[in-house]
Amino acid sequence: MAKIIVTAGPVPGHVVPLAAVAADLTERGHEVLFYTGAQFEGQARRTGARFAPYPAEVEPTSAEFQAAFLEREKLAPFDRMTFDLTRFGADPAPVHDKRLQELLAEFPATVVISDLTSFGTMPLALRAPRGERPLLVYIGMAPPPFDSVDTAPFGPGLLPPTTDEERARYNGMRVQMGAMFADAQEHIEAVFSSMGVTLPGFFFNAMATVPDHLLQLTVPAFEYPRSDAPQGFRFIGSLPAAPDRDFERPDWWADLSSDRPVVVVTQGTAENNDLSQLVVPTLRALADADVTVVAATGRADGPDAVRTEMADEIPANVHLAGFVPFEQLLPLADVLVTNAGYGGVQTALRHGVPLVVAGETEDKPEVAARVEWSGTGVNLHTARPEVAAVRIAVDEVLNDPQYRKCAGEIQRQYAEYRPFDAIAEIVERAAAVG
């Protein structure tokens, strides 16, 4: 039996996949401690793991955090990205580092499993060589951010270079982006120095080179080839979410099995404060289409927010929902219209569902670019598409079988992977050695 600490950033997109990992490891007989925000205690304990909450000062419910989030909402996309990396990523890292050391003293884990953006776990690997510390395993639940000669710089959502001219242009962009991220790099380096460790190079690269393993939650067909990927980088497929046995299917669920195509639209569970960005334009775009539309708003008051935004003029072919388990919904869908959240896109492709993507913040331009590159959907290149653009894109995906074919090919590749077995193998090998 191994002892494992699993830690996840306190947002559903991070907690859900790592809760699935924790549940699988406890079912295999391992002892797991789940460290995350207090609001996810129930979800963490349902995995069979012990639970350790974040210290109060880094809880997302704290007044300081809430004030920072309101400040973030006013920023442009690039400034929002650097804000997230510094304020939400680096600044809490010393608190998490200290708490993890305390937890390891009480619970001597041989492996720490974390999400990709967890700066607070990096010092574990930077303080001591492998073999003298817990193995650090990152789960890649966002596109790989590390630099490569075979890709464009991470962030703008550019496709890989195909000519020498593009490679030269991308190299020039790397210099420019280094300057753009200089303040964030300096800030993050200072935070790491305060923890008594040195950040090894550019922070995006450190996310891949510091952990012993970076296990990417996708398949090669959805990711740009890299001839210079770090040694610990590998694909493991996508993690299915635990079944939501508490979900009661609404009365309209039977409509999803009719002859009409089903279009699902969502802005995920994070960037859904303003549903006029994508949900409302999609409902208006498809109001007179011969399709059934499900708006999965990702928030309890989402249906009411949509009704208010549309002055209660909800098209007859639309069903509004708060939280809907995608594992149950997407097998019935023909298209997913999404703001390009990585987890939702992977779930759609695991079910062979093609996409229409529209996203500008965080890693969403990179996710959208991979949808375009893989041929699995249409990239609208904006977070606020025009109604007409959404209609054209949905019609294109529904009417061109190539999108469904490409999504189906990726679906078949997913079936070849056993992500839980891959993680368990690493855990059990580390336990046998240590």
Which has the closest alpha carbon to 223: 234, 208, 207?
Answer: 234
* pLDDT computed for residue 60 by the predictor: 78
251-414 matches 3-237+417-433 in CATH topology: yes
Give the whole-angstrom CA distance, residue 237 versus residue 350: 9
CATH number 3.40.50.300 is the correct assignment for the domain at 3-237+417-433? no
* pLDDT computed for residue 63 by the predictor: 65
Q: Which two tokens stand for residue 208?
A: 């891949």
Ordered by start, the domain boundaries in the chain are 3-237+417-433, 251-414
Each residue's pLDDT tens digit, 107-156: 999 999 999 888 999 999 999 999 899 999 999 999 999 999 999 999 89
SS3 call for 202: coil
Residue 175, beta-bridge partner list: none
Residuewise pLDDT in 10s, the chain (434 residues):
899 999 999 888 889 899 999 999 999 999 999 999 999 999 999 999 999 999 998 887 766 666 766 777 777 777 888 888 898 899 999 999 999 999 999 999 999 999 988 899 999 999 999 989 999 999 999 999 999 999 999 989 999 999 999 999 999 999 998 899 999 999 999 999 999 999 999 999 999 999 999 999 999 999 999 999 999 999 999 988 766 667 889 999 999 999 999 999 999 877 778 999 999 999 999 999 999 999 999 999 999 999 999 999 999 999 999 989 999 999 999 999 999 999 999 999 999 999 999 988 888 999 999 999 999 999 999 999 999 999 999 999 999 999 999 999 999 999 999 999 999 999 999 888 76
Token pair 């999400």 in the structure block, residue:
115
Reported pTM = 0.91
SS3 call for 111: strand
- What does the DSSP 8-state code read for residue 343? H
* pLDDT computed for residue 242 by the predictor: 64
Asked if residues 183 and 119 have their Cβ atoms less than 8 Å apart, the reply is no
Each residue's pLDDT tens digit, 52-111: 999 998 887 766 666 766 777 777 777 888 888 898 899 999 999 999 999 999 999 999
CATH number 3.40.50.2000 is the correct assignment for the domain at 251-414? yes
